[in-house]
Structure 1
Amino acid sequence: MHHMTSHIFLALGMWDDVVAANEAALGIVKQKMQARNQAASPVGCGHPITWLAYGYLQQGRFADARRLVENCGEEVRKNRPERATGADLLDYDTTSAGSFSAMRTRYLVDSGDWSGLVTDLEVNVAGIVAAEFTRDFADAYGAVRHGRIDTAVKAVKRANDSGQRFIAAAIAAGVPAESPMRRVPMIERDQLNGLLLVRRGKTAGGLALLAKAAAAEKEIPMEFGPPSLDKPANELLGEVLLEHGRAHDARAAFEAAQVLAPGRGQSLIGLWACARVLKDSELAQSADARLAKVGLREALAGKTK
C-alpha cells in the first residue's frame, strides 16, 4: 500500500513523499522478514528499492542513493547466479542483477558521479539481458559525455550491440513492436550515436539524432514511475542545445521534459539555466522555487554529499 501511493507522488514530482512512502514500505518488509527469522538480511534489491534510490537522487541525497546501489550489488555478489528466462530477462524488477544495473545507471547519470566507487563496482550481470544493456548504456553515456573519444567509440559500440541483443530477446519473448520495451533501446541508441557525432564535431547531425530521440520519447505512454529512458531524451536534447548556445530551443526541450517527468530536478535545473541566459525572471523564479524544495541543485554543484 505504501509503495503504491508513491506512483502518484512520483508523477507529481513530490520527492519527499516518494521517499517516505518507499521507506515505510521497506520498513514493513523488514519487520515481516525478521518476524520469521531474526537473522534475516535486509532486502538489497527490488522494485521499491529502485524507486527509493530514484527519490533520494531527486532529493540530492547522493550518499543514500549510493548506499542502496552498493547494498544491491553486494546482494547480487552473494547469491547464486539467477536463472531468469523469457520476458523475465527483460524487466529489471524481476532479477537482482537487473535491479542493480538499473540503480547503478540511474545513480551515475543523475548524480554525475562518474569518478566515484559506483562506476567501478564489480558485479556480474552476465546472462541477464536487461542488466547487460543498462550497464552498457551507462558506460557508453559516461564515456561519450566525459571520457576520451576512443573509449567512447568502443563503449557506444558495446551498448549498440547489447541493445540489439535486448531487442532480439524481446522479439523472441513476443513483446509487441509498439511496446516501450522494444522502443527504449532504439531511442537510447540514437541518443548515444547523436552524442558521439557531437563529440566528433558533427554537431548538426548529432543534434538531429538527439531531436529524433526526443520526438520518439514523446510517443511513449507516460508511466507512473521513473522515466522509461535512463537519460530522458528531451532533457538531454535541452542540455546539449544549451551547451551550444541555443537557450531558446533548449527551453522548449526542457519544458517538454517537464511534461513527461513533472518535477524532475535535472530538467528544472536546465530551465533555470535557460532563464538566466534569456533573462526571463519569471521562469527563473518559478524553477528556483521548485528547486529550493530539495537539495539536488546544491548536490550537483558539490555543496553537499
Structure 2
Amino acid sequence: MNALLLISALAFAQAVPHDHEHLHSEQIGRVSFQTSCSPQAHAIFERGVTWLHSFEYEQAEAAFNEAAAADPSCSIAHWGAAMSLYHPLWAPPTKAEMERGRAAVAAAQATPAKTEREREYVAAIASFYRDSDKPDHKTRALAYNAAMAEVHRHYPADREAAVFYALSQIAAGTLDNDPNFTREKDAAAILNAVLKEEPDHPGVAHYLIHGFDYPPLAELAVPAAKRYASIAPDSPHAQHMPSHIFTRLGMWDDSIASNLKSEAAARELMKKKGFVGASREELHAMDYLAYAYLQTDQEAKAQQVLGDLSRMQKVDEPIFSVAYAATAIPVRILLENRRWKEAAALQIPDNVLKLSPLENFRWGQAHIHFGRAIGAARSGDVALARDEVGKLKAIEDTLVVPSGTYDWRKQVSIERQIAGAWTTYADGKKDEALSAMRAAADLDDATEKHPVTPGNILPAREQLGEMLIEAGRPADALVEYEASLKRAPRRLAGLYGAAHSAKLAGDTAKASRYYAELADVTKGGEGKRAEVVEAREAAKLAAR
C-alpha cells in the first residue's frame, strides 16, 4: 500500500493547474470522453460527465438532457442521464429516480449508439435498471459492476471506462464488507494509472478519497484530498470531499477550511439556480463543520452552525444527507459539551425537522431519542431515559434494510445499546452496564460508518472508557480510550479521557503526552471547557 501512496503523492504533486476552460466558465475539472455526437452535443456531454464525477447529479442530468436535445442521435447522452440517477455510494434510487433512469435507458436503446463502445456503456447501465422491480439493489449494483468490468476489459485504453469501473469496484466493496479492502485497492491501482495521464480528472481524486475513506487506509488519500478541491472549485461536493480524509485523521483545521469552502460554493450554486433556500451540500458541510469545531474547542462557531440550521426553511434536495445533518448537529453539540439536562429536554424546531422527510429516514429520528436518552441517563432521570431507549428500540424494530444498502438498523442498535448501558448504570447496576457498553463497543468496532457522517455522535468504545472512569477503573479505561483513538484520532473527548485516565492510573508519561496533544488540538479554541483548561495547565507544568 505504500507504493499506492507514493504513486498518488507524486502524481498529484506534479499536477499543474489549468484554466479549466469549459462551457459557462465552470471550473469543475477536465475529462476526455470520446463520443459519436455532434461537436456541440459532445462539448455539453463532457460537461455532464465532469459534473457526474463530482456527484453533482442534478447539474449532470441537466447537461446530458441538453446534449440529447442538441443532437437527437447522441444516444450516449441518455446513458449519462441514467447514470445521474444511480448514486452508487449514497443510497438506492428512489422510485421516481428509478423510473426516470429506466426511461433514459429506453431512450438510449431506441436510438442505438453509432459505435459498439457506446452501446456497451448503455448496456452496462441497463444491467442496473433491468427488472428493477424484482432484483434487490445489491444484485443490480453487482450486475453493473460486472458489466463495467467487461467494458474496461474490451477498451483498456479508454480512461473513462477505467474510472467508472473503479467507482463500481468501490461501490461493490461497500457491499462486500471485506476487511482487506480488496476491491478498493484494485480501484486505487486503476485510478493511479489514469492519474498519470489526467491529473485534472475530478473522478480520479474523488474516488481515491472514497476508496481510502477507512481508518486503516485514510493516510493514503491525503494527496488526493489536498488536490481535489483545486481541480473542481465550482463543485460544492469537491470542496467538501477532502474533509472525509481530514476527519478520519483528525486534521481539524483542514476539515474546517474544506467545509467552509463547500458551504460558500453551495450557496453560490443556489444563487445561480435561483433557489431561495439551502443546498443539500451546505447541510452536509455544516455537519462536518460542527463536528470539527467541537473537537477544536470552538464552541461559538459550532453554535453559529446550529443557528444557521435553525433558520433554514427549505432545501433543494431533501435527501438522506439533509436528514442526517438536521438531526445530528443539535445532538452532537449538546452531548459533546456534556449538557445533559438540555439534551434530555431536546426539541428540534419544526422547520428543521421538515427539511427532509424523517418518516423516510427514521434513523434520523433515532438521533433525537438518543440525545434525550443519554441526557436523561447522565442527569439521573432514569424513567425518561428508559422511555427514550424504548423509542429507540421501536425504531430499530421497524427499520427495514434492503439487501445491498447501508445497515442503518445496526447504527440505531448501537445508539440504543449505548443509551441503554448508561440508563442501567444510572440505575445502579454497574457491572451489567459495563457489560452492555462493551457489547455496544464491539458492535461499533465491527461496523463501518456511512460516508454521510463525520463520525458517530458518541463512539461506543469512548463511552466504555468514560464508564470505566466513573466506575473507578482508570487503567482499564485508558485501554479503551486508546483503542477508540485509533479509529477516531484526535477527538477532544478521546484525548481528554486518555489523559485523565492515565493520570489517575499513575502513568504520568502517557498522561503528559495526551494532555499535550489535546492542548495542541485546541490551541485555537476558546479555552473555557474544563477539559481544555486542565490540558493546558498540564502542558505548562510539563514544559517547566
Name the TM-score class by shorter chain. 0.7 to 0.9
Give the CA deviation at 1:229.
3.0
Residue number among 33, 50, 64 corresponding to 2:287 in the alignment: 50
Under a length normalisation based on structure 1, what TM-score does the superposition of the two structures give?
0.82
Q: d(CA) in 2 for partners of 1:70 and 1:250?
A: 35
Q: 1:142 to 1:198 in 2, by over 3 A?
A: same
Report if aligned partners of 1:61, 1:299 keep a CA contact under 8 Å in 2. no
Report what 2:403 is aligned to: 174
Give the CA deviation at 1:70.
3.1
Give the CA deviation at 1:158.
1.6
Q: Which amino acid aligns with 2:403?
A: G
Most deviating of 156-165 and 41-50: 41-50
Report what 1:107 is aligned to: 333
Residue number among 285, 299, 304 corresponding to 1:62 in the alignment: 299
Report what 2:395 is aligned to: 162
Q: 1:79 to 1:21 in 2, by over 3 A?
A: closer
Report if aligned partners of 2:297, 2:526 keep a CA contact under 8 Å in 1. yes
What secondary structure sits across from 1:292 in the alignment? helix
Q: Which amino acid aligns with 2:284?
A: H
Q: 1:133 to 1:231 in 2, by over 3 A?
A: same
Q: How many residues align?
A: 286
Greater RCO structure (CA 8 Å; 6+ sep): 1
What secondary structure sits across from 2:516 in the alignment? helix
Q: d(CA) in 2 for partners of 1:152 and 1:27?
A: 39
Report what 2:366 is aligned to: 133
1:246 aligned onto 2:473:
yes
Map 1:89-238 → 2, pairs under 5 A: 91=320, 93=321, 95=322, 97-115=323-341, 119-123=346-350, 124=353, 127=359, 128-165=361-398, 168-170=399-401, 173-175=402-404, 179-221=406-448, 226=453, 228-238=455-465
Q: Which amino acid aligns with 1:103?
A: I
Q: Which amino acid aligns with 1:199?
A: A
Q: 1:169 to 1:198 in 2, by over 3 A?
A: same
Q: d(CA) in 2 for partners of 1:190 and 1:303?
A: 29
Q: Which amino acid aligns with 2:463?
A: L
Q: d(CA) in 2 for partners of 1:153 and 1:259?
A: 32
> What do residues 213-254 of structure 1 show as CA deviations (whole Å, max 9, x unaligned)?
111122123677756532101000000000111001100100
Residue number among 520, 528, 535 corresponding to 1:293 in the alignment: 520
Report what 2:255 is aligned to: 18
1:283 aligned onto 2:498:
no
Q: d(CA) in 1 for partners of 2:438 and 2:332?
A: 22
Q: 1:174 to 1:134 in 2, by over 3 A?
A: same
What secondary structure sits across from 1:263 in the alignment? coil
Q: 1:142 to 1:174 in 2, by over 3 A?
A: same
Report if aligned partners of 2:270, 2:276 keep a CA contact under 8 Å in 1. yes
Report if aligned partners of 2:279, 2:317 keep a CA contact under 8 Å in 1. no
Give the CA deviation at 1:200.
1.1
Q: d(CA) in 2 for partners of 1:25 and 1:103?
A: 17
Give the CA deviation at 1:129.
1.1
Q: Which amino acid aligns with 2:469?
A: L
Q: d(CA) in 1 for partners of 2:510 and 2:453?
A: 25
Q: d(CA) in 2 for partners of 1:279 and 1:297?
A: 29
RMSD, aligned CA: 3.0
Q: d(CA) in 1 for partners of 2:309 and 2:396?
A: 23
Under a length normalisation based on structure 2, what TM-score does the superposition of the two structures give?
0.48
Q: Which amino acid aligns with 2:264?
A: G
Q: Which runs of 5+ in 1 are unaligned?
A: none
Q: Which runs of 5+ in 2 are unaligned?
A: 1-228, 230-238, 534-544
Give the CA deviation at 1:164.
2.3
Tell me which structure has the larger Cα radius of gyration.
2
Q: d(CA) in 1 for partners of 2:349 and 2:276?
A: 24
Stretches (4+) displaced over 6 A = 222-225
> What fraction of aligned residue pairs are identical, expressed as a percent?
26
